[in-house]
Amino acid sequence: MEHHERGGRSWRKLNDTASQLHQEALAFQADGRLAEAATFAAEALKSAEGPLEKAQILCTQAAIRLDLGQYDRAAASAHRAYDALDQCEPAGAHAEADRLRVRAICLIASGMFQSERYADARPLLERALGYCQLWISAESEEACRVLTLLGTLEKHAGARHLAEEHYRRALQVAERIWSPYSGEAATVCHYLALLAEGWEEGDAIQPFAERACEIRCGLFGSTHPLSAAAQTGLALTLEAAGEDKRAGEKFLYAMAIFDRHYAGTQHARSILPESLRDYAICRSGAGRYLLACGRTADAREFSTRALEVFRQVLGKSHPLTASVEREHRALLRSTPATRGAARPGSAWTWWRGFSFSR
């Protein structure tokens, strides 16, 4: 009998029901342990009974594969989930099946726009939003998810004003479903803040960045990676407003939090791509600040350290690691190499000895 350890308890893989295996897959996914999550999703799928249960597990499998950077395989799982739902009640006749249909469409579209297939993903998400309005509710968790994905798609496609419009609508939904100061509202505020990166009009969304920081620091504490991500968003809005020194300080503070988090052995296998994407944005911002200050050695060393984290956590083959590596090589080509250790009082020395108590 094969045994596994998680959360300080021992349990058996065999003879568990599909539902139990699915719950274990979800728990591993939440922990960022995606290899284990993928294994248990596959095992759950083998013993699933009925199209609705199969669709639920296939959606989870698709989400895990998205996090692993396996975009084509994620889309295949999501397509299977959608096809399985055709065996259930007709659209509009079964609430859970309708929610899963919307989720499956979102997962298919997510894989597409992660692969930069924006023109293919956009009509799918627009269709999913129509399904929300028709079958579920225009003010539902599903509608909030679709609007957020539409905003992210338009941001990547370069249509920032349209992205802002979608995010603002998602925020209105989140405020009505949960509350203006819920974690869900903070997430949408954070997405709005990220629009400021490289955008001259980005200073206008600073209130959303401040709100995301306030909510996340209150919910998770100031040294949590989600709070560091919110600090990164605020730094981007300050940078857009021309407050480079304040922005740089926040980038460096957030970098210290991210590095402490991923340097710990307990997080060595934790793959949380959303947090790592924020880390990548923060690394770029800190690099811009250090280069502007003429501190090329510090910028290079920061970039090297961040790349090591991405390789360790995500692996060399993950698309996000490849993106960070391209930026790192561009930085090395554009800055002169220096000899010796970082000089006393440098940003790198300060960062390594950073104390969160001050």
pLDDT at position 75 over 90: yes
CA quadruple 244, 248, 254, 256: dihedral, nearest 10 = 180
- The reply to whether 105 and 231 lie within a common domain is no
DSSP string, 176-217: HHS-TTSHHHHHHHHHHHHTTTT-TTGGGGHHHHHHHHHHHH
Average pLDDT over residues 235-251: 94
- The reply to whether 100 and 190 lie within a common domain is no
Separation CA 193–CA 58 (nearest Å): 32
- The reply to whether 183 and 323 lie within a common domain is yes
Confirm whether 73 is domain-assigned.
yes
- The reply to whether 190 and 285 lie within a common domain is yes
Average pLDDT over residues 79-88: 90
Confirm whether 159 is domain-assigned.
no
pLDDT at position 241 over 70: yes
R_g (Cα) of the chain, nearest Å: 21
- The reply to whether 99 and 209 lie within a common domain is no
Amino acid 337: pLDDT: 64
Question: In this structure, what token pair is assigned to residue 10?
Answer: 């021992």
pLDDT band for 89, please (50, 70, 90 cuts).
Answer: confident
The conformation of residue 344, written as its DSSP 8-state character, comes to T
- Residue 11: strand, helix, or coil: strand
**pLDDT (tens digit per residue) in 191-203:** 999 999 888 777 7
**pLDDT (tens digit per residue) in 56-69:** 999 999 999 999 98
- The reply to whether 234 and 298 lie within a common domain is yes
- The reply to whether 84 and 214 lie within a common domain is no
Confirm whether 262 is domain-assigned.
no
Lowest model confidence (mean pLDDT) among 5-9, 105-109, 257-261, 264-268: 5-9
pLDDT at position 180 over 90: yes
Q: What is the helix (H) or strand (E) element at residue 113, kind and residue range?
A: helix 95-114
Q: Domain count of the chain?
A: 2
Confirm whether 173 is domain-assigned.
no
Confirm whether 153 is domain-assigned.
no
- The reply to whether 185 and 315 lie within a common domain is yes
Question: In Å, how far from its chain's centre is CA 147?
Answer: 16
Confirm whether 147 is domain-assigned.
no
- CB burial of residue 339 (10 Å; 0-12, 13-18, 19+): exposed
- The reply to whether 290 and 188 lie within a common domain is yes
Separation CA 330–CA 323 (nearest Å): 11
Residues of 19-33 as b/e, b for ≥16 C-beta within 10 angstroms? eebbebbbebbebbb
Separation CA 213–CA 231 (nearest Å): 6
- Please report, rounded to a whole number, the percentage of residues in the chain having pLDDT higher than 70: 87
Owning domain of residue 304: 178-194+204-257+274-335
Separation CA 313–CA 267 (nearest Å): 8
pLDDT at position 250 over 80: yes
Closest CA to 305 of 270, 346, 351: 351
Amino acid 64: pLDDT: 95
pLDDT band for 338, please (50, 70, 90 cuts).
Answer: low
Mean pLDDT of the chain: 85
pLDDT band for 93, please (50, 70, 90 cuts).
Answer: confident
- The reply to whether 221 and 318 lie within a common domain is yes
Amino acid 130: pLDDT: 95
Average pLDDT over residues 32-41: 92
**pLDDT (tens digit per residue) in 94-131:** 889 999 999 999 999 999 988 889 999 999 999 999 99
Contacts of 306 (CB under 8 A, 6+ apart): 255, 259, 279, 280, 283, 324, 328
- Residue 111: strand, helix, or coil: helix
pLDDT band for 215, please (50, 70, 90 cuts).
Answer: very high
- Residue 3: strand, helix, or coil: strand
The conformation of residue 135, written as its DSSP 8-state character, comes to I
Amino acid 87: pLDDT: 81
Average pLDDT over residues 153-162: 92
- The reply to whether 90 and 208 lie within a common domain is no
Q: Of 7-11, 124-128, 289-293, 339-343, which one has max mean pLDDT? A: 124-128
Q: Measure Cα distances from 183 to 189, 214, 317 in Å.
A: 10, 11, 32
pLDDT band for 243, please (50, 70, 90 cuts).
Answer: very high
pLDDT at position 7 over 70: no
pLDDT band for 254, please (50, 70, 90 cuts).
Answer: very high
Amino acid 343: pLDDT: 44
Separation CA 62–CA 26 (nearest Å): 12
Contacts of 341 (CB under 8 A, 6+ apart): none
Average pLDDT over residues 311-317: 82
pTM, 2 dp: 0.84
CATH number at 81 reads 1.25.40.10
pLDDT at position 3 over 70: no
- The reply to whether 45 and 126 lie within a common domain is yes
Confirm whether 43 is domain-assigned.
yes
Confirm whether 3 is domain-assigned.
no
